[in-house]
Amino acid sequence: MLNARYTRLIFVLLLAVPLLTSWGVNSLIVYYLVVILAYVSLLVYGSYFIQSDFFLRSLWKGSKDRKEIAITFDDGPMKEFTSRLLDLLKSEKVPAAFFLIGKNIEGNEAVVKRMMDEGHVIGNHSYSHTYWFSLNKSEAMYNDMKKCDEEIFRATGRKPKFFRPPYGVINPMVKKAIEKGNYDCVGWSIRTYDTNAKSAVQVLQKSLKNLSNGDIILFHDWGKFTIGILSDFIKEVRARGFEIVGVDELLKTKAYY
């Protein structure tokens, strides 16, 4: 699989090719522009698609041999939205994973404690979740992640092992922070785009399209149509013979230290 290390090596070799040839100046300029553009495109792809494992190997899909999937929710806790989700999950007897934003925990400790008590997995989704999170220095990112850990521990008494980067962006600085914190980076294989969907039907279709063994589904607590389609999603998943399990069970790894 193509990753950052091999990509650098390949492009160094490509940049050296003209040294072994006798190209004209115009040809050299065009060649180098194409090579540099291709390199930058790969870096962007590797940063914004967590499934690429370009900078860091992430856990984004379970075994293809078991008819199991996991559902995850980002950006909580939010008292109204998250409590309604928990009610629905409890009635359907479905476990889920919640990747929490640390700054949202204060005032919602009871909701977070309920997640833990009802058997859901809790993961770190950074404390601040700013749009520019991935542009920080690795030490600043690590401190932000650690602060989220502290908030989760304050509410539950557990320290999460799972981390999901804001917006799923991975780059060398994010990689360094994840490794320093000794987290397991957890991604997804199906993104529902429930935060900007135009209809409930659209969210349901995206969540079910190409559903296969081992999939991890990404929802958000505050998705406009998420709660409305969740029962239909669960019903259809079960009708197709899938079992919904905790993401830790799907990945066969521990969620906490």
Q: Is residue 244 within 8 Å of residue 95, measured between CB atoms?
A: yes
Distance, in Å, from the CA atom of 244 to the CA atom of 247, rounded to the nearest integer, reads: 9
Q: Give pLDDT tens digits along the chain (257 positions).
A: 678 888 888 878 887 887 777 677 788 888 889 989 999 999 999 999 999 999 999 999 999 999 999 999 999 999 889 999 999 999 999 999 999 999 999 999 999 999 999 999 999 999 999 999 999 999 999 999 999 999 999 999 999 999 999 999 999 999 999 999 999 999 999 999 999 999 999 999 999 999 999 999 999 999 999 999 999 999 999 999 999 999 999 999 999 99
> What positions carry a catalytic annotation?
74, 220
pLDDT value of position 11:
76
pLDDT value of position 113:
98
pLDDT value of position 3:
82
